Amino acid sequence: MKQAIINTTIHTGDEIINNGVIIIENGTILSVQKDIPNDIETIDLQGNHIAAGFIDIQINGGEKHYFSQTPTEETIQDIYDSSLKYGTTHVLPCLISSSNETILKGIEAIRSYRKKHNNGVIGMHLEGPFLNPLKRGAHSIDQVRKPTNSELEEIIRHGKDVIKVITIAPECFTDEQLNMLLESGITISIGHSTITHKEAQVYFSKGIKLVTHLFNAMTQFGHREPGLVGATLENENVYAPVILDGAHCDYAAAKLAYKLKQDKFFLISDATFLGRKVSDFKWDNFDAHLENGFYRNNDGNLAGAAISMQDAVQNTYNHLDVSADEAIKMATSHVANAIGLGDKFGKIKNGFPASFVQFNADLSIIETLNFDAVTVI
């Protein structure tokens, strides 16, 4: 059945349309127009704004379960359902450094889930385990390791249709291994790495166009050695996501990064759990405790984030001196483009999923408006 969303300001991702009309059917956008067709069911947004639903490519848990601990369909459903409460309609559940057995279980859980559910679970983010132990952050030292050809081949063979992003420290890879990943079609993100500015530019020249949580777990900017941070800010082709919670990244640093990166700057939650409903968590050598609104481990280090994408968007609007439209893009079209899926979702456009957020002009209220959109990746 066709429906018309009316009486709304539409943020398409390309333009803003005042008092526009969105025609949807079977979870898909048919058209964006100005006129309301006759004899069609209408959904009146009463003057609110509307944009594509948020996309979170790095989320570790929902309100109950943590994907790396229990890489099951139940956990995936928890992450998806919980995300919908906070404006996020498309997710990549993140599996952090784990055993090869756990990685393969996570891949199979995502694959099985997606066969049963045509929704916004678009794949998996594998963060590790091939990271530099000197920049491992909260990742377990027992799981962080260099890749072997056989393990890497197995992960690619089983996961290349499921893993949409893999975070690696490229200095831990041989040229042969890096080429294996580059040829797999999986989006590679550099993170938890000690590479220099010069080394980073070499890896970027090979086709890597993404880093993981800018400023965190990477070599910092210095006037004599600009590090991975400097290389990312300098290279106009590289996408830079931030965890905008005021702790992982100071708002002043994020503001500077946005000025330099513009449409390559985007938001992630890196949520350990959503909704701050889990206050204490322990899994193998990983622990997280909610302290003053932030998750920290027993060493006092940040252990994932406690924000949602909704929080990140609101923080962006309140602290980065950008328009509501630009803040929304940082959680939608910029994200989709970063993982090479900007032709599938992230905008209000003909043929795209009918999954939206509605909000007021100052982004103080954000609500999900989802029509069980089908996302085919």
Q: Please tell me the distance from the alpha carbon of residue 33 to that of residue 17, in angstroms, as a whole number.
A: 9
Beta bridge mates, 52: 356
Q: Please tell me the distance from the alpha carbon of residue 75 to that of residue 313, in angstroms, as a whole number.
A: 25
Q: HSE on the CB side for 137, CA within 13 Å?
A: 28
Q: Which two tokens stand for residue 123?
A: 């794949």
Q: What residues contact residue 358 under an 8 Å CB cut-off, 6+ apart?
A: 8, 45, 48, 49, 50, 366, 367, 369
Q: Which two tokens stand for residue 267?
A: 């938001």
Catalytic entry in 56, 78, 270, 311: 270
270 is catalytic: yes
Q: Which two tokens stand for residue 327?
A: 């803040």
Contact 320, 311 (CB under 8 A): no
Q: What residues contact residue 362 under an 8 Å CB cut-off, 6+ apart?
A: 317, 324
Q: Which two tokens stand for residue 21?
A: 């009309």
Q: Please tell me the distance from the alpha carbon of residue 356 to that of residue 52, in angstroms, as a whole number.
A: 4
Q: If we measure between CA atoms, which residue out of 254, 262, 57 comes closest to residue 164?
A: 57
Give how far Cα 310 sits from Cα of 210, 296, 303, Å. 22, 21, 20
Q: If we measure between CA atoms, which residue out of 27, 37, 32, 7 comes closest to residue 19?
A: 7
The residue with tokens 């984030």 is: 305
Catalytic residues: 270
